[in-house]
Structure 1
Amino acid sequence: MKLPKGIYGITDTSYTIKNHVEAARAFLEGGVRIVQYRRKEGSIRVMLEEARAIRRLCNEYGAVFIVDDRVDIAILSDADGVHVGLDDAPVDEIRRRFGGLIIGASASTVDEALQGERAGANYIGAGSVFPSPTRPDYRITGLDGLRSIVRSVNIPVYAIGGITLESIPAIKATGAWGAAVISGILAAKDPVKMARAFVEAWENA
């Protein structure tokens, strides 16, 4: 499955929308074509229900559906893929057991990105590019670090961390495949309108 270029939406309930499924719907209505369901805690049954609802929405909009961290939820909800951080399930083991899944790997350095690619990741989530309200403890790569990661691997790289509408042209100029956005869209008064603005900003950059 081809990974869509441009804006990559990640669900969160800390902002205007207090529901993961509705957050996904706002991204999709705004034109985003890859959505990650990210829920850190809660009942597995509830997570599965939400994931399945987002799966249906992504089918409706022809979008790629990724689950953060939870390989079990990704498999049971028939997601297209899973995104794993450095402390999550190893990429090579997921690849060996669930070969058909799209696998994203987090990286904040060239070494981590190369490690993810070698292990079988389909894409890298690189960052935090800028300081991020959702990941305050993450190492900051800056645009130069992002550019180095993009140049070091042969797979798509999505920038993540503190991405704003104004920073989209600079992100695209690094050669990144896209930009993952959470608060930049979901903290807006009108998340659908803001998602559309991000999508247009990427297309026009």
Structure 2
Amino acid sequence: MKLMAVTDQSHSVRELASKIIQIKNKIDFVQIREKTKTVKEIITLLQHLEEGGVEKEKIFLNDRLDIALLMDIPNVHFPEKGLPVKRVKERFPHLTVGRSVHSFEGAKEAEVEGADYLLYGHCFETNSKRGKAPNGIEPLIEMKKNLSLPVYAIGGIKLDKVNELRELKADGIAVMSGIFSAENPLAAASQFYEVARDEK
């Protein structure tokens, strides 16, 4: 399985850049999901990442098509109620476009629109959605049975959940607090990376 680290809006530009640069060899992708940061801050972050040797192919920008185009980032990710995937793919066919979904119906719609992959959640209880019941894993099972798109699981992904998700044929895991809230992000990312790669 692939590992996508998702930023958690809890760090300054410099801190976040440092953390991503530290973990760059222990993740497949990083999704920059910084809704409270200004355009200038996100551009500065991307410049730090480039200087730190983070490949642009590893970076996904959440809901910022404008910055992706300006900074030559080849991957974008949209929330379920974000920009229409079909229009974006028609206009910018070179981009890889992902969509967040929260149900099998939403996933079917995203596939028809031409999304390249899905991010489904939240699968388990998670602090980032405190008080909100998880959507569970049944929709993920349906997606893997009926759709051809890669599906990443997000939400409450802890190390002890990874094997369960592999058995359900998830293509990847997306981890936010498990990496970016960890005391040692590199150690945390390394553990997730190794478990995700372990095909036992």
TM-score, with structure 1 as normaliser: 0.87
Q: Give 1:14 deviation, angstroms.
A: 2.5
Cα distance in 2 between the residues matched to 1:180 and 1:98: 25
Is 2:179 the counterpart of 1:172?
Answer: no
Counterpart of 2:10? 14
Cα distance in 2 between the residues matched to 1:42 and 1:194: 25
Q: Is the 8 A contact 1:114 1:153 kept in 2?
A: yes
Which residue of the other structure, out of 43, 59, 69, is the alignment partner of 2:63?
69
Q: Aligned pair in 2 of structure 1 residues 98, 186: CA closer, same or farther (>3 Å)? A: same
Cα distance in 2 between the residues matched to 1:6 and 1:64: 12
Counterpart of 2:24? 28
Matching residue's letter, 2:8? D
Matching residue's letter, 2:81? D
Counterpart of 2:100? 106
Q: Is the 8 A contact 1:55 1:79 kept in 2?
A: no
Is 2:188 the counterpart of 1:194?
Answer: yes
Q: Aligned pair in 2 of structure 1 residues 75, 140: CA closer, same or farther (>3 Å)? A: same
Q: Is the 8 A contact 2:9 2:35 kept in 1?
A: no
1:58 aligns to what SS in structure 2? Answer: coil
Q: For 1:136-175, what aligned pairs fall within 5 Å after superposition?
A: 136=130, 140-175=134-169
Q: Is the 8 A contact 1:35 1:63 kept in 2?
A: no
Q: Give ranges in structure 1 of 5+ residues lacking alignment.
A: none
Structure 1 runs (4+) deviating above 6 angstroms are none
Matching residue's letter, 1:37? I
Counterpart of 1:38? 33
Counterpart of 2:47? 52
Q: Aligned pair in 2 of structure 1 residues 114, 135: CA closer, same or farther (>3 Å)? A: same
Q: Give 1:106 deviation, angstroms.
A: 0.9
Superposed CA offset, 1:91-134 (max 9, x none): 11111111110000111111100111111100000110012222
Matching residue's letter, 2:15? N
Q: Is the 8 A contact 1:48 1:76 kept in 2?
A: no
Q: Aligned pair in 2 of structure 1 residues 53, 120: CA closer, same or farther (>3 Å)? A: farther
Q: Is the 8 A contact 1:127 1:139 kept in 2?
A: no
Aligned CA-pair RMSD:
2.2
Q: Aligned pair in 2 of structure 1 residues 47, 173: CA closer, same or farther (>3 Å)? A: same
Cα distance in 2 between the residues matched to 1:135 and 1:51: 27
Cα distance in 1 between the residues matched to 2:115 and 2:47: 24
2:143 aligns to what SS in structure 1? Answer: helix
Q: Aligned pair in 2 of structure 1 residues 33, 153: CA closer, same or farther (>3 Å)? A: same
2:97 aligns to what SS in structure 1? Answer: strand
What is the count of residue pairs matched by the alignment? Answer: 198
Q: Give ranges in structure 2 of 5+ residues lacking alignment.
A: none
